Chain A
C-alpha cells in the first residue's frame, strides 16, 4: 500500500531530524557551559573597571576639559547602532529579539529626525536588518572565523568604532546584545557606550574619590575611556555568546520534543492503517469463502 510506505518514510525522516536536533542540543549545552565560564571569568575585570571609571567620571565629568568620549560631542544628531548577533541560525528567537529591539530604536530615532548609522556584528542581524535599514549600514564585522572569543576581537571592533568617532562620523553609539539570564530567558539589551555610561555600584564611588592619580585624573581617564569601549563590547560579546547557546539549547530541546510527539502520532496513524489493511484483507478472504 502506497499510503503505508509514505507514512513509514515520513516517520524515518522525522526520526533522523530528531537525532540531529538532539545532537545540536547537546553541543549547545557543552558550548553554553564554556561560554558561561568565559563570561564568569571576565566579570571581575569588568566590575573593577566600571567601579574605577564611575569614580573617575564623577570627579572629572563635570569639567570642561572632560574627554569627548565621556561628555559627548554636545550633539546627538548622528546615532550609531552597533547590533551584535550570532553567525548561525537555529537558535530560536535570539537574533530576532535583538533585531526587534534595534529596529524599534531605529524607528524612534528616525521619527525624531536623527541621522542613523548601523554597524552589524554577526551575519544574522545584518540579514534581518538589510531590508528595512540597508541604506543606513556603514559596516559589518564578520565573526564567523572566530573560534574562541578573545579580548582582541572586542578590541578590533572598538578600534573601528573609535576611529569613526574620531573622524566625527557619529555622536552617540549604542550597542545591542542579549543579556544572559538563564537558559530559557535572554533579555535583549541596549547599552550606550559613547558618551560612556558606567553603572556605579552603591558606595563604590565615595571611596574612589579619595585616590591619588598618577599621572593626572584627566590623563588616566583619556587613557582608559577607549578601553572602556572595548570592555563594554567584550562583555556584550560574551553575554551574547552565552545567550546564543542558551537559546539554541532550549530551541533544540523544543524541536526534539516536537519531533518525538510527531513520531508518536505518526506511528499510531501507521499502525491504524496497517490494521485497517489487514482487516480489509480478512473481510475479503472471509466473504470470498462464504460466497462459496
Chain B
C-alpha cells in the first residue's frame, strides 16, 4: 500500500495546493471523512468547513465554503468554490463569507416560503459557516451588520 497520495486543491481562479500527502480530512456534506491512500473512489459535495491536509512535513488547513471532492485510490482532487488557507483567513474575509451566507439564506427563505427543504439546507449552510468561525476563533456576529 502506498504511503502517500496525490492531493490537488483547485478553485476556479487558481490552483491552491498540489503535492503528495498522507491523509486528508474532508468536510463532506453528509459528514466529515478522513481519506487515506487507497480509499474507494468517491465523489462527495462539501459543506462549509475546514479541510485538513496531513503531509509528511506537517499539517495544513484550508477553509472551504463549498464545492466537491473527487476521491480515487491514488489521489484526491478538491474543487472548492472558495478556499482560503487558514493562515490567510482574516476577520474581513470571514465577514465577507458570512455576509454571503446570510444573503443566500434570506433570498432562499423568501423564494421558498412554504418549502422546508431548501430553507433548512440554507440554514444548515449558515450554521456551518458560524461553526467554522467559532472553530478558527473569528467572530461570526460582526457580519450580521
Contacts and interface: CB of A to CB of B under 8 A. Distances in A.
A165 to B, nearest CB: 13
A38 B45 contact: no
A207 B10 CA distance: 21
B11 interface: yes
Interface string B6-28: 00101111110000000000001
Band of interface residues on B: 20 to 34
B88 to A, nearest CB: 16
A52 B68 contact: yes
B103 to A, nearest CB: 11
A38 B14 CA distance: 8
Contact of A150 (B13, B67, B70, B72): B13
A41 B42 contact: no
Interface string A39-66: 0011011101100100010000000000
A201 interface: no
Contacts of B4: none
Interface string A144-182: 000000110010000000000000000000000000000
A234 B12 contact: yes
A182 B97 CA distance: 37
B43 to A, nearest CB: 5
B81 A215 contact: no
A261 interface: no
B85 interface: no
Nearest to A219: B45
Contact of B81 (A44, A212, A219, A227): A227
Contact of A151 (B40, B43, B70, B81): B81
A209 B44 CA distance: 14
B42 A211 contact: yes
Q: Indicate the member of A45, A52, A207, A223 with the most B CB atoms within 10 Å.
A: A45
A13 to B, nearest CB: 43
B11 A52 contact: no
A156 to B, nearest CB: 12
A186 interface: no
Interface in A169-210: 207-208, 210
B29 interface: yes
A211 B43 CA distance: 6
A215 B31 CA distance: 10
B140 interface: no
Interface string B49-89: 00000000000000000011010100001010110000000
A223 B70 contact: no
Interface of B: 8, 10-15, 28-30, 40-45, 67-68, 70, 72, 77, 79, 81-82
Interface of A: 38, 41-42, 44-46, 48-49, 52, 56, 150-151, 154, 207-208, 210-215, 219-220, 223-224, 227, 230-231, 234
Closest 5 CB pairs of A and B: A41-B14, A214-B44, A151-B12, A212-B42, A45-B10
